[in-house]
């Protein structure tokens, strides 16, 4: 959750217009080992039946009303992070 907590709450203040832009910028300035650690963390979280909604809401500064909504967002972020540069 470090990646999400560090990059998503202030994304608009940093001039990043979309989540994809946030992920792209993160990948540009982050060592491959750290990117892999973030991917592993997201994979671990997504493998669980129940997501920690309050934690995700708090770290991402977003509100997810349902598990599926949070799961879809995390999956989108995870896939963007895993895609080739």
Q: Spell out the domain ranges in the chain.
A: 2-82
Asked whether the predicted pLDDT for residue 6 surpasses 80, the reply is yes
- Quote the pLDDT of residue 11: 82
- Quote the pLDDT of residue 32: 94
pTM to 2 decimal places: 0.88
Between CA 45 and CA 8 the distance in angstroms is 17
- Quote the pLDDT of residue 17: 78
pLDDT tens digits, one per residue of 27-79: 999 999 999 999 999 999 999 999 999 999 999 988 999 999 999 999 999 99
């Amino acid at each position: 959750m470090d990646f999400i907590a560090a990059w998503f709450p202030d994304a608009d203040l940093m001039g990043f217009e979309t989540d994809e832009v946030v992920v792209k910028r993160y990948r540009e300035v982050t060592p491959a080992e750290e990117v892999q650690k973030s991917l592993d963390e997201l994979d671990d979280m997504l493998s669980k039946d129940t997501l920690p909604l309050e934690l995700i809401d708090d770290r991402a500064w977003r509100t997810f009303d349902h598990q599926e909504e949070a799961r879809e967002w995390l999956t989108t972020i995870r896939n963007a992070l895993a895609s080739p540069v």
